[in-house]
Amino acid sequence: MSDKLVIIPTYNEKENIEAIIRAALSVEESFDVLIVDDSSPDGTNDIVKCLITEFNGRLHLEIRTIKDGLGRAYVHGFKWAIKNNYKYIFEMDADFSHNPNDLPRLYHALIDGADLVIGSRYCNGVNVVNWPMNRVLLSYFASKYVRLITRLPVDDATAGFVGYRAKVLETLDLDKIKFKGYGFQIEMKYKSWIKKFSLKEVPIIFTDRTLGESKISSDIIGEAVFGVISLRLRKIFGKL
């Protein structure tokens, strides 16, 4: 078993799931993969089940019976990773917006001393492909807003391509992570920074999905906008 795990949450990703699994398991440095599927009605987890024996213990599947947000799916995966003694745990989308070939670069940033590494769209200009301009602007200025309100020294606070040393996830109280979408990504980075863990951004190129449907919604955006304010207020009043 590898000491590196990539967690990929899924819901209705049958068009992408086999290809992303094969891509993630074929990169250098030998990563294992955990799919956390929210009981996809399109048969995503059935495809994963058919692939498990092919990869000799490197591919794992957890099926959740409730669909209650990306953040909850990742927390489920984090707990599984800690229980199974992984030292380096990564988040990655199923739709190829994150390039699996960038995983070794994130891993080496952790090896070189970072506690949390961020595959960043904005630390070296704006590196986004095939996104409509309104989405680019929303994402870019959301990160600026997060930095302004929280003082978090990160250019891409909403990034979902992230790697952690296990000690970060073991230190944070995962049961107290409140947010689900963009808000979840911000909360994890902010709480890690508050705990004095070192954060590093590695530039990546983000490419919008070509297959399947985006899961973003107005509720997820609203959670991020107002969640940032609540994070800052909880820090000020010592409730984080």
* Structure-derived torsion over alpha carbons of residues 165, 166, 172, 174, reported in degrees to the nearest 10: 120
Contact 195, 235 (CB under 8 A): no
- Residue 234 confidence (pLDDT): 73
Contact 95, 10 (CB under 8 A): no
Higher pLDDT, 17 or 220: 17
Q: Give CA–CA dist 134/124, Å, rounded.
A: 20
| 38 pLDDT tier (thresholds 50, 70, 90) | very high
How does pLDDT run across 107-156, given as a tens digit for each residue?
Answer: 999 999 999 999 999 998 888 887 778 777 878 888 888 888 999 999 99
Tokens representing 30 are: 């030998």
Which domains are seen in the chain, by residue range?
A: 4-236 (3.90.550.10)
Contact 37, 44 (CB under 8 A): yes
pLDDT at 16 over 60: yes
Tokens representing 4 are: 């590196």
- Residue 225 confidence (pLDDT): 62
Q: Give CA–CA dist 175/172, Å, rounded.
A: 9
- Residue 143 confidence (pLDDT): 82
pTM reported for the whole predicted model = 0.89
| 219 pLDDT tier (thresholds 50, 70, 90) | low
- Residue 144 confidence (pLDDT): 87
How does pLDDT run across 41-88, given as a tens digit for each residue?
Answer: 999 999 999 999 999 999 999 999 988 889 999 999 999 999 999 999
Q: How far is CA 11 from the centre of its chain?
A: 15
Q: Give CA–CA dist 111/133, Å, rounded.
A: 36
Q: Give CA–CA dist 120/118, Å, rounded.
A: 6
| 224 pLDDT tier (thresholds 50, 70, 90) | low
Higher pLDDT, 235 or 100: 100
* Percent with pLDDT over 90 in the chain: 68
